[in-house]
Structure 1
Amino acid sequence: MELTLLDGGMGRELKRIGAPFSQPLWSAQALIEAPDRVVEAHRNFLDAGARVITVNSYACVPFHLGEERYQEQGIALATQAARLAARSISEWQADQTGETSSSRAQVAGCLPPVMGSYRPDLFDANRARSLLTDLYRAQESFVDLWLAETLSNLEEIAVVQEVLANSDAPRWFALTLQDDITDVARLRSGESVAEAVTQLCQGGADAILFNCSIPEVIEQALIDASDAMRRLRCSLPLGAYANSFAPIAAAHQANATLTQDRQITPQGYLDYAIRWFERGARLIGGCCGISPSHIAALETWRRSM
C-alpha cells in the first residue's frame, strides 16, 4: 500500500487563518459564523499534499455546542460541515491540471468522541449511540469513508462499530493513547492497544490509526498493533496522526482551555513520521497543532520515495 497523506488539525488551522475561534465552541464556531473559512482551511491542507480531509464536525456535539444549541443546530451544522468538505475538494480538483492519482482526494466523515476528548470516564454508551447515529446520518451523503477519531476505550469502539455496521464506506478507527512512554501502548482508559486491535479485527474495521497523542508514543502502538494482527492473522492498514500538545494527564479537562502546544517543527514531525512509516503506517497526517506546513514536509518526503 502506498503512503496516503491525511490533513492536519482543523481547529488550530482555523485559528491561524483568523476564523472565529473560542472555547467552548472551538472549530464549530467557524461553521456558524464564517463557513468560507472552513473551506479555506481544507484547501490549505489539500494544497499542502493531503489527499484525505476530515469533515469539520468534531465539535458538533453537546460537549462543545451545549445541549440547547445542539438540539437546535447540531445536525444541520454537521451536514454543513460535510457539504463544505465536499465543496473544498470539488473546487480544489477543478483547479488542478491533469488527471493524476495525486490530484484526487477523499472526504472522511468525522465521528468524534461525543462525550469529550481524553475522557473515557465520561462515556455513556446509550447517549453516545444516539449522538453518533445523528452524526452518521448528517454526513453520509457527502463522505467517501468514515474516520472515528480519538477513541479512548473499548466500549466506545464497540458503539462506533455498531453505528457503522451497515455502512458500505471504509471504516477507519483512530485510537488515542496514554502519553506515557512505556513498552506497552495503552488507550486513555488503560486498556491495551492489543485488546483494541483484537476487537477491531473481530468486530469490523478497514484501518486502524493512532491520533491525538504525543508523537513519541505512537511508534510503540504501531509495534503492538502489528504484533496483535500477526497473532490474529488479520491484515489492516495502519496509520498515525499525532498532536503537538504537551503530554495530557488523566485529569485533563478537555474543554476548559486551549491545550499548550510544544511547537514541533515540520522537520521534527517528519522525523517521527518516517519512523511510523518504517513500522508499517501507510496513512499519515496530523492532529491538533499540526499545520499545512507540516503536511507539506510530509508531501515532499512522499514525492522523494
Structure 2
Amino acid sequence: MTKEAVKQRLKQRLVLDGAMGTELEKLGVKTNDELWSANALIDNPEAIYQVHASYFKAGADIAITDTYQANVAAFAKNGIKHDEAIELIKSGVKIAKQARDDYDSNGLIAGCIGPYGAYLANGAEYTGNYELSFHDYQNFHQEKIKALIDAGSDLLSIDTIPNFQEVKALVKIINDLPNKLPYWISLSVKDVTKLGDGTDLKVVIKWLSQQDNIDGIGVNCTKIENITPIVNLIRDISNLPIVVYPNPGDIYHPKTKTWTTVPHVDTFQQEVPNWLSQGANIIGGCCRTTPEDIAQIAKILKN
C-alpha cells in the first residue's frame, strides 16, 4: 500500500489491536523485567504471532508491533550486540506482517516506538520524569525508527509519550528522515488536562497540530473514563485523526512490573459510541485489554 493510501485510511474508522504483554503472559512469556514483552522477540516469536493473529481474527485493522520495549540500549544491557538488536526489532515487523498476510490482507502494520521512559523501566513512561538533549533522543530513537521502516512497516505508532521535549524531538527525527512513513503521536497523560510531565495538554496538542506530516494525535494507556474529555480537547484544537487505546483502569506497579485489577467503572461497549460521536476514529486497547475487547470494539465500529 502506498504512503498516500495509508494516510487516507487513517482518516477512516479503524479498529486498533489490544494489549501485547497481557496476552504474551497468558502464553507463558516472561514480562516482569526490563525487556517486558520484548523478551518474546528473543525466545518466543511464535507467541507474538499468535497474539497478532488473535487480534486480526477479532476484527483489528491495525497491528502494533511488539517493539515498544525493544531498543538497542535495552538489548545491550542484556548482552545482545548491536546488529542482533536491530534484527530483533525488524523481526517484530516481520512477525506482524506474517499474521496480517495470513488473516487480513487489508490490515496495516504500525511499527511501535515507545518512550525513553519505558527504557528506564521505572514507570517514567507515565511521569515523563527525565531530561535529555535532542542529540540524546536522536541517538536513542533514530536507529530503531529506521529499522522499523526498513522492515516494511506501513506506518509508525509513537506510543505513550509523557514528555513534551521528547514529543518535539520525535517529530523532528521522523521529519528529517528521507523515507519517512505516516505516523501518529499518542500521549501518556497525568490526567485529562496534563501530559505526564505536567505540560498543559492544550499546549501539546496545539503544537502537534501546527507540525507538518503528522497523521494523527492520540492518547493511550490511561483509564477508559479519561478518554472522552481528552478526545473533546483534541477535536477542539485539531482536525487530525484521533487515536485512542486506553487500558481498563487497572493499577500498574513499576517496581514489580505487575498490575492490580480494580473494578472497571466504564466499558468499551458503553464508551466507544461516545468516542466516535466526539470525533475519535481509530480505537483499540492498551495494557490489560484482550481480543474479546477488540471484538467488542470492532462490532461497534463496523456496524
TM-score range, shorter chain: 0.7 to 0.9
SS in 2 for 1:150: strand
Q: 1:259: Cα distance to partner?
A: 2.6
Task: Judge conservation of contact 1:211–1:242 (CA < 8 Å) in 2.
Answer: yes
Counterpart of 2:260 in structure 1 is 260
**Judging changes above 3 Å, is the alpha-carbon distance between structure 1 residues 168 and 138 closer, same or farther for their aligned structure 2 residues?**
closer
Counterpart of 1:100 in structure 2 is none
SS in 1 for 2:79: helix
**Could you tell me how far apart the structure 1 residues matched to 2:286 and 2:186 are?**
11
Give CA-to-partner distance per residue, 1:193-229, whole Å, 9 cap, x none: 2111111112231101110111111211111111122
Counterpart of 1:121 in structure 2 is 129
Which of 181, 189, 203 aligns to 1:195? It is: 203
Q: 1:256: Cα distance to partner?
A: 3.5
Give CA-to-partner distance per residue, 1:116-144, whole Å, 9 cap, x none: 22141124243322121111121112100
Task: Judge conservation of contact 1:64–1:255 (CA < 8 Å) in 2.
Answer: no
Counterpart of 1:14 in structure 2 is 24
Give CA-to-partner distance per residue, 1:46-90, whole Å, 9 cap, x none: 000111001100111367546353544432211111111111111
Equivalenced residue count is: 281
1:170-249 paired onto structure 2 within 5 Å:
170-178=182-190, 180=191, 185-204=193-212, 205-229=214-238, 235-246=239-250
**Could you tell me how far apart the structure 1 residues matched to 2:251 and 2:189 are?**
10
Farther-moved stretch of structure 1 (4-13 vs 194-203): 194-203
**Judging changes above 3 Å, is the alpha-carbon distance between structure 1 residues 129 and 263 closer, same or farther for their aligned structure 2 residues?**
farther
Q: Point out where structure 2 has 5 or more consecutive residues left out of the alignment.
A: 1-10, 119-124
Counterpart of 2:92 in structure 1 is 81
Q: Point out where structure 1 has 5 or more consecutive residues left out of the alignment.
A: 94-102, 230-234
CA RMSD after TM alignment? 2.2
1:18-167 paired onto structure 2 within 5 Å:
18-61=28-71, 65=75, 67-69=77-79, 71-72=81-82, 73-93=84-104, 104-116=106-118, 117-125=125-133, 126-141=135-150, 142-165=152-175, 166=177, 167=179
Q: 1:159: Cα distance to partner?
A: 1.0
**Could you tell me how far apart the structure 2 residues matched to 1:19 and 1:206 are?**
33
Q: 1:263: Cα distance to partner?
A: 6.3
SS in 2 for 1:199: helix
**Could you tell me how far apart the structure 2 residues matched to 1:75 and 1:254 are?**
26
**Could you tell me how far apart the structure 1 residues matched to 2:224 and 2:193 are?**
13
Q: 1:191: Cα distance to partner?
A: 1.0
**Could you tell me how far apart the structure 2 residues matched to 1:260 and 1:284 are?**
24
**Judging changes above 3 Å, is the alpha-carbon distance between structure 1 residues 302 and 215 closer, same or farther for their aligned structure 2 residues?**
same
SS in 1 for 2:259: coil
Counterpart of 1:297 in structure 2 is 296
